[in-house]
Amino acid sequence: MKKVIVLFTFFLFFILNASGQGEIDEQQKIFYRNESTFNIALNSTGYGGGYRYGKRLNFLNKRLYEIDFNYFRHPKEIKLSNPYFPNSRSFVFGKTNLFFNLRGGYGFQRDIYKKMDRGGVAVRYFYSFGPVLGFYKPVYYLVLDPISMDTYILKEAKFDPAQLHSPNDIYGRASFFKGWNEIHFVPGLFAKFGFNFEFSKLEPVVQALEGGIVIDAYPKKIPIMATEDNKSVFISLYASYRFGKIIDRYYKKAYEKNQKTGPSFQYIP
């Protein structure tokens, strides 16, 4: 969580500092501004990315349609390695499953402050909600199986607290692709709220920093670790970088029409 807050604060300071230059914007403004964007995000519970389409409703408001894919970590995850085998793979002792989710969201965005000049920052708030599909697969370890006093063989096995009493019993993690035939699905719901700071200098381009909170809720606990404190509700703070373009057929036609007269704005398809 501290990493998310530090990252968001750093980028926000950078954007606001850069926006103070107040360059005069001579580009033709796009008022329709349907947006197609992608994002990469760092969460207090993991990381992810996604796609969003924003459909303009009026001068200040957009309707949002989005899809996100995310990987979740348990707060008690600590990477270890076997001290007796220097070349062994790192692993998380006690982790039973890798957990991911796929969100499909419907929401709303409203402009609080629009960019007045080329170096300005547009500030918006937004929210979205919808179904979420969680899915998890078992983690396999390379377990040390002794056959003599100083000889071991490696076998792939899931975490078993009755047999694996110490990290020294494990050589490392097995292949990431092991266990995908044992996947489990858990449907749920999510809700997201945040703020968007859009700072791109070219009118048809979208570059923005977002920060906010998202809640994922499932009907049962997700068994990420071999402990009793697994959760069914995940509350995450996140910071993300969003990039994309404006989709406006009227603006494109105006650009093509005015190419012969040397327009003072640029269109980037």
Going from the first residue of the chain to its last (269 residues), give the mean pLDDT of each consecutive group of 10, the final group possibly shorter: 57 53 49 86 95 92 97 92 87 95 97 80 96 97 86 89 86 93 97 95 88 97 92 96 83 55 48
Contacts of 175 (CB under 8 A, 6+ apart): 140
pLDDT of residue 268: 43
Q: Please check whether residue 172 is in contact with residue 91, taking contact to mean a CB–CB distance below 8 angstroms.
A: yes
pLDDT of res. 250: 60
What pLDDT is stored for residue 61 in this prediction?
94
CATH of 2-77+97-133+184-261, one of 2.40.160.20, 3.40.50.9100, 3.10.20.440, 3.40.50.2300: 2.40.160.20
pLDDT, one tens digit per residue, over 37-59 is: 999 999 999 999 999 999 999 88
**Whole-number pLDDT of residue 6:** 58
Tokens of 149: 């006093």
Per-residue pLDDT, 27: 47
Predicted pLDDT of residue 202:
82
How high is the pLDDT of residue 269?
43
Model pLDDT, residue 59:
84
**Domain boundaries of the chain, sorted by first residue:** 2-77+97-133+184-261
- Report angle CA 138, 74, 187 to the nearest 5 degrees: 65
